[in-house]
């Protein structure tokens, strides 16, 4: 169970990060992915502390859980505050 959940969460993390960059201008999608990520975090810590650990990926699993927390925070920020594109525009003289 430990190894299987690690790989499921690792694939979810990669898909989530890639997809996040393509929908930065869609706050509702960012919020949805952030809340799904919260569920993934809860499941990740539940498996990490509840299942028998497998040597070799133990530290990676824990790191993945904490990186998912950072990703969820970024997604919540983008989802609820948006990305300000006006600072990147150029003005003609």
Which residues, including other chains, have CB under 8 Å from residue 55's CB and lie 6 or more apart? none
The H-assigned helical ranges of 1-93 are: 2-22, 27-50, 58-81
CA torsion sign for 54, 57, 60, 64 is negative
User: What is the full per-residue pLDDT of the chain (93 aa) written as tens digits?
Assistant: 888 888 999 999 999 999 888 887 888 888 889 999 999 999 999 988 888 877 788 888 889 999 999 999 999 998 888 766 554 455 565
**pLDDT, position 28:** 87
pTM of the model: 0.78
Residue 1 burial by Cβ neighbours in a 10 Å radius (0-12, 13-18, 19+): exposed
Domains of the chain by residue range? 2-82
Per-residue model confidence (pLDDT) at position 69:
94
């Amino acid at each position: 169970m430990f190894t299987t959940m690690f790989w499921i969460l690792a694939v979810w993390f990669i898909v989530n990060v890639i997809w996040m960059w393509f929908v930065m201008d869609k706050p509702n999608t960012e919020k949805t992915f952030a809340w799904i990520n919260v569920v993934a975090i809860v499941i990740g810590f539940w498996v990490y502390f509840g299942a028998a650990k497998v040597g070799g990926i133990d530290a990676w699993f824990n790191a993945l859980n904490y990186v998912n927390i950072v990703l969820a925070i970024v997604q919540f920020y983008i989802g609820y505050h948006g990305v300000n594109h006006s600072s990147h525009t150029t003005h003609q003289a």
